[in-house]
Copies of this chain bind each other. A is one copy, B any other.
Amino acid sequence: MTERDDHPALKGWQSREGELLVGNVPITSLARRVGRTPFFAYDRARLKTRIAELRAELPERLTLHYAIKANPMAALVCFLAERVDGFDVASAGELTKALDAGMAPSKIGFAGPGKTDQELTQALAAGVLVEVESGGELARLSGLAADIGATPRIALRINPDFQLKGSGMRMGGGAQQFGIDAEDAPQIIADGRARGLEIQGFHIFAGSQNLNAETIAEVQTKTLDLALRLADLLASPMRYLNLGGGFGIPYFPKDRPLDLARVGESLATVVDTLAEAQPQARPVLELGRYIVGEAGLYVTRVIDRKVSRGEVFLVTDGGLHHHLAASGNFGQVIRRNFPLVIANRMGAAPQERASVVGCLCTPLDLLADKASLPRAEVGDLVAIFQSGAYGLTASPTAFLGHPDPAEVLV
Contact = CB atoms under 8 A, between A and B. Distances in A.
Interface stretch (A46-54, A170-178, A228-236): A170-178
Contacts of A331: 329, 362, 364
Interface string A386-410: 0000001111111111110000000
Contact of A401 (B93, B137, B308, B319): B93
Nearest to A311: B175
A4 interface: no
Contact of A113 (B91, B304, B309, B398): B304
A317 interface: yes
Interface stretch (A7-15, A79-87, A217-225, A353-361): A353-361
A159 B398 CA distance: 26
Contacts of A174: 309
A400 to B, nearest CB: 5
Nearest to A167: B363
B309 A402 contact: no
A159 B313 CA distance: 14
A181 B308 contact: yes
Oligomer copy total: 2
A360 B177 CA distance: 10
A306 interface: yes
A303 B112 CA distance: 12
Contacts of A310: 175
B114 A316 contact: yes
Contact of A69 (B90, B319, B359, B361): B361
Secondary structure of the A contact surface, majority rule: loop
Contacts of A324: 396
A308 B159 contact: yes
Contacts of A91: 359, 400-402
Interface string A306-337: 10111101011101000010000111000000
Given A308-B175, A309-B181, A361-B90, A394 B401 contact: no
Interface string A92-125: 1110110000000000000111111000000000
Contacts of A134: 304, 306, 315
B359 A115 contact: yes
Contact of A97 (B68, B171, B316, B401): B401
Given A331-B364, A400-B90, A400-B91, A114 B319 contact: yes
Contacts of A93: 400-403
A28 B315 CA distance: 46
A363 B179 CA distance: 12
Nearest to A330: B329
Nearest to A378: B136
A169 interface: yes
B403 A399 contact: no
A81 to B, nearest CB: 16
A250 interface: no
A305 interface: yes
A398 B401 CA distance: 15
Contacts of A311: 175
Given A68-B401, A176-B363, 10 more contacts: A69-B401, A72-B401, A90-B401, A113-B359, A116-B317, A175-B311, A329-B329, A331-B364, A393-B400, A396-B396
12 contacts: A97-B401, A113-B361, A114-B304, A114-B360, A171-B361, A171-B362, A171-B363, A175-B311, A177-B315, A393-B399, A393-B400, A396-B397
